[in-house]
Structure 1
Amino acid sequence: MSDSIGIVILAAGKGTRMKIETPKALAKTAGRPLLEYVVDAALNFASHSSLKAEIGLVVGHKKELLEEWLSTHSQKQFLKTAWQKEQNGTADALKSCFHDQPHFWDYTYTLVACADTPLLEEAEFNKLFEVLKADPKLVGVAATFEAHDPTGLGRIVHGKNGFQIVEEKDASPEQRKITEVNSGVYILKTSHVKEVLGTISNNNKSGEFYLTDLFQDKYSVKPVKFPSEVPFLGINTLEQLAEVTKLFRAKKLKKLFTEGVEFLNPDSVHIDDAVTIGVGSIIYPGVTLLGNTKIGNGVVVETGSFIRDSIVHDGAEILAHSYLEGALVHKDATIGPMARLRQGADIGPEAKIGNFVEVKKSKLDKGVKVSHLSYVGDAEIGENTNIGCGFISCNYDGANKHKTKIGKNSFIGSDVQMIAPIEIGNDAFVAAGSTISKSVPDGAFAITRAQQVTKEGAAKRFIKTKKS
């Protein structure tokens, strides 16, 4: 098979030092799993290089979670899995891929990368591939870099014809002084892998099968030194994860600045990779923007607001300390301060959701006002209706949720409870302090208050005083 490449991503690690329950490859940085960055970069490289490609994902620890992730990937047709039953080294991991996916032997080239290097981009793969293609005699290339601290990394030992990679445990004192190190990213001719992989032994201090043994001075292989170690940063601890997330955030903020987004204190903002923000928007300090959040043009997001997987359209204001998750906020609406929009909240243009208001699975049309201290759940509210303070849609009967429908141009007074299922018509008026359990037609007035009884001088029977 010509012009083709089998991409093998090693993702069998447990993440022991991170002390997490999921496989290390599924730990998240900037809102996406580590593995996803590597997969996308590799597929982009193959596509732009006109290479027919397929990814073999070598799984191990909690492999079912990785297989579940794979099933949701947008290009899952290009992803296959292989199971490394025991952690016997990187060469054993590669053998597992060829064992479970034997058609990978038919690819012209084999690319190997690790799942815990999310800063890898298409450019690194391009550079390696260009070097390999430029010399027909080469059978493999490995990405290397000068490490500030080479501890734990394989050293690059140059020879007369090529080079070899010596793992730290097996390195001599002199070799350990070398600062050019192995990145763990390789592109090889598959014919070379087929010839050598089966001959690799575990006769070393770790008792593992090293994939680095594919690179020996006797083979026509070449190290490709990169100017920075940053793209190859691997993640083994939560501290390293935080450092990489910080790099992603800085890159994201720089891009948004150039696109016309203003951050009043960028160092205090957490923003995921997939978040988009339109021109002229202002983001205050202490804001968190997560998941697939999309913010339009000219939006203001004030201090302490938390927004996940939500859409906020042009000109809207998210006032201080508001919490949005799975919400839709239309043009020029105002949310907060201190409001909560839960999954399925759909807030119409020019609507106002005020302080201490919670909205869940409800559609509020243009100009609706719910200004303070209210709960709106499983409801539909028509245009320009005003909801007074202390409103509650009583949507849950202990077993099932029920719908509240309120028409347009209606007025709902303070401290009103509506017992769903219920419908209030257009241009209706519900008096303050009412508990409404029957539907109200268009233009009607509804009130449910007990008659007030006042007893002169009787207060002393009810007022409690402290005993001396």
Structure 2
Amino acid sequence: MKLAVVILAAGRGERMSSPLPKVLHGIFDKPMLQCVIDSAEKLRPSRIIAVVGKNFKEIKKSIKPENILFAVQKKPNGTGDALLRAKTLLKDFRGTILVLNGDVPLITSETLKKFLSLHRKVRNHISLISFAAANPASYGRILRDRNSRINSIVEDKDATEAQRKITEVNSGVYAIESGVLSLLKEIPLNIAKGEYYLTDVIGIARNKGYKMNAYCIGSEDEMMGVNTASELMKARKVFRERLVDAWIKKGVTFLDHDSIFISGNVVIGKNTIIYPDVCLEGMTEVGSGCTIYPNVRIVDSVIKDGAVVKDSTVIEGSIVRARAVVGPFAHIRPGCDIGSEAKIGNFVEIKKSVIGDRTKASHLSYLGDASIGKGVNIGAGTITCNYDGKKKSRTTIEDGAFIGSDTQLVAPVK
């Protein structure tokens, strides 16, 4: 069965109090919309369509892959109108259309796969995911008939006192068969809001005898919509807890998981110990049996097995090989390769340099644009003077060399 995904991402996000489009606000280092796209891609749809507003160009530049299709909703006329904007891009499509929201970043591909399986198993025309909300006032409540099938969705302001006691609510995730997309044109204008609500399609489909249901398979955290900066903070917390719990199950030890900043692309080996206030960002890989001490930031770097990164160290775009020790208070700038069992100590800064196996630079040195061999000793206060005001030159130090304290090596030098 073919699948297309439509992500509604045209909301203005005025409650975020930010000029940035709402769906581009980040869950750590990834925009919310990208989180939703990543989950959708795991379903292997034939196409993904993002319905966006006037910030189309800014959104397009910020997400990947490049084959995402875009439909533009020029005026914020509601979710029903937003889905209708995507209809042209679905003209030749026959199959199931999965409708997601760009501001619900925590939804998982596992939940979506389960939902689509339920939808297709009974051959529904329309299905939706529901969940039990602790505070349902901000959601549309699910009304069911005596056979427990969905009858309609009612918003809080339109609900009776009895209906307000219902805690099962609409997540905004739908599966709609392409053959019933024509119902979108029958959604009435909500006079009070001046918008077309996608939720109204449920009542329309019900009256026409289409087969449909709501499946209460979502958790409130997973279905959390982000409309304010406060809600964004809550979503980040849930995302971090989800990641940390997954790595704990794989044998990683976090001494304080509440203080960790971790990207969804980070990989960590078993038996690694991570202390509080550590930031692991981008495409970082940490091997097995490593120790990462407090206040360390590692970005787009590889830390090999058994390496130790001591307190208050920054490592960017580099590789630290097995059993090397870096820090405390070291700065490894992009383009460095720190050899096995090397030691980079207090207040050492290294940039675009190769440091050989078992080489030591224990304190107070700057090593830039350097190739340093194996078993070299770099004394305190050593500086590679790599810039003459016009160009940068390399310093080469061969295996076994001993560089005494307070040495200045004026490049190019070997």
1:295 to 2:295 alignment: no
For 1:234, the equivalent position in structure 2 comes to 225
Change (3 A) 1:204 1:150: farther
For 1:148, the equivalent position in structure 2 comes to 134
Alpha-carbon offset, residue 206 of structure 1 = 0.9
Residue number among 197, 219, 244 corresponding to 1:210 in the alignment: 197
Alpha-carbon offset, residue 353 of structure 1 = 0.8
Residue number among 120, 136, 139 corresponding to 1:133 in the alignment: 120
Alpha-carbon offset, residue 230 of structure 1 = 2.3
Q: Is the 8 A contact 1:22 1:62 kept in 2?
A: no
Normalised by the size of structure 2, how large is the TM-score? 0.92
1:120 to 2:107 alignment: yes
1:57 to 2:50 alignment: yes
Alpha-carbon offset, residue 354 of structure 1 = 0.7
Mark the runs of 5 or more structure 2 residues left unpaired by the alignment.
none
For 1:332, the equivalent position in structure 2 comes to 323
Residue number among 346, 362, 367 corresponding to 1:371 in the alignment: 362
Post-superposition CA distance 1:206-227 (Å, at most 9, x none): 1101111211131433222236
Q: Is the 8 A contact 1:23 1:61 kept in 2?
A: no
Mark the runs of 5 or more structure 1 residues left unpaired by the alignment.
425-468
Alpha-carbon offset, residue 300 of structure 1 = 1.1
Q: Which amino acid aligns with 1:80?
A: L
Distance across 2 between alignment mates of 1:415 and 1:61: 59
RMSD over aligned CA atoms reads: 2.1
Distance across 1 between alignment mates of 2:14 and 2:319: 39
Q: Which amino acid aligns with 2:83?
A: L
Change (3 A) 1:19 1:414: farther
For 1:94, the equivalent position in structure 2 comes to 83
Distance across 2 between alignment mates of 1:122 and 1:297: 28
Aligned pairs for 1:39-438 within 5 A:
39-45=37-43, 47=44, 53-70=46-63, 72-73=64-65, 76-77=66-67, 79-99=68-88, 101-103=89-91, 105-136=92-123, 138-159=124-145, 162-172=150-160, 174-194=162-182, 196-216=183-203, 217-219=206-208, 220=210, 221-226=212-217, 228-420=219-411, 422-424=412-414
Distance across 2 between alignment mates of 1:357 and 1:56: 49
Alpha-carbon offset, residue 8 of structure 1 = 0.2
* Corresponding residue SS for 2:222: helix
For 1:29, the equivalent position in structure 2 comes to 27
Q: Is the 8 A contact 2:307 2:321 kept in 1?
A: yes
Q: Is the 8 A contact 1:13 1:61 kept in 2?
A: no
* Corresponding residue SS for 2:189: coil
For 1:13, the equivalent position in structure 2 comes to 11
Q: Which amino acid aligns with 1:178?
A: I
Q: Which amino acid aligns with 1:156?
A: I
* Corresponding residue SS for 1:292: coil
Q: Is the 8 A contact 1:312 1:328 kept in 2?
A: yes
Q: Is the 8 A contact 2:94 2:179 kept in 1?
A: no
Alpha-carbon offset, residue 130 of structure 1 = 2.8
Distance across 2 between alignment mates of 1:227 and 1:186: 12
Post-superposition CA distance 1:321-345 (Å, at most 9, x none): 1111112101111101110111112
Post-superposition CA distance 1:223-262 (Å, at most 9, x none): 2223632221111222222222222222222222222222
Post-superposition CA distance 1:345-387 (Å, at most 9, x none): 2111111111011111111111221111111112211222221
Q: Is the 8 A contact 2:130 2:218 kept in 1?
A: no
Give the percent of matched residue pairs that are identical in Structure 1 and Structure 2. 39
Post-superposition CA distance 1:80-122 (Å, at most 9, x none): 11111121111121122123x243x523221101012122112
Post-superposition CA distance 1:163-185 (Å, at most 9, x none): 11223444455544433211100
Q: Is the 8 A contact 1:193 1:214 kept in 2?
A: no
* Corresponding residue SS for 2:207: coil
Q: Which amino acid aligns with 1:22?
A: L
Q: Which amino acid aligns with 1:18?
A: M
Distance across 2 between alignment mates of 1:19 and 1:250: 26
Change (3 A) 1:262 1:152: closer
Alpha-carbon offset, residue 40 of structure 1 = 2.4
Normalised by the size of structure 1, how large is the TM-score? 0.82
- After TM superposition, what 4+ stretches of structure 1 lie above 6 angstroms from structure 2? none
Q: Is the 8 A contact 1:9 1:115 kept in 2?
A: yes
Alpha-carbon offset, residue 270 of structure 1 = 2.4
Distance across 1 between alignment mates of 2:187 and 2:277: 53
* Corresponding residue SS for 2:116: helix
The size of the alignment, in residue pairs, is: 408
Q: Which amino acid aligns with 2:125?
A: V
Change (3 A) 1:148 1:295: same
Alpha-carbon offset, residue 188 of structure 1 = 0.9
Q: Is the 8 A contact 1:162 1:218 kept in 2?
A: no
Q: Is the 8 A contact 1:141 1:186 kept in 2?
A: yes
Post-superposition CA distance 1:280-316 (Å, at most 9, x none): 2111222221221111111111122111211100111
Change (3 A) 1:162 1:280: closer
